Amino acid sequence: ARTFNQVSKLGQILDPIADRLLIVCSTLALVFAKIIPWWALALVVLRDAIMAILIVILAQYDYGPLPVNFMGKTGTALLMVTIVLFMIVFAIAAEPMLILYAAAIACAIWGITLYWFAGILYCIQAYKLLIKKAK
């Protein structure tokens, strides 16, 4: 849609929701398969819950969703790469996969970290908007 300059309001709302659902459902599947620990899922879900609450609060003051920042996009991309890497590692389960497993762990750490930093930036943006509205 961006390539052909056909961005819609609905697409701007549904795209991030689809990303969140993909990440949460895939992470949930990896937890049930005992590939990743439950707390990794908890970190992702907690951040998403905070962002959902933030969006509801902003909507009460007639603000739409905040613009996506680079850190958020990077964190989301790393989490998606993490999911794929873990699936490959545990589907093949061979000795050379140890390097890929280490890469998956690194992507998970960086992805979750950037995901949370982006969330903090969104909270700061929202705070500034709400303070500005209160004045």
Max intra-chain CA distance, the chain? 61
CA distance 101 to 21: 24
According to the model, what pLDDT value does residue 8 have?
Answer: 79
CA distance 127 to 135: 13
Q: Average pLDDT per run of 10 along the chain, which is 135 residues long?
A: 74 85 95 94 96 94 89 96 94 85 96 97 95 85
According to the model, what pLDDT value does residue 1 have?
Answer: 63
CB atoms within 10 A of CB 5: 6
According to the model, what pLDDT value does residue 102 have?
Answer: 94
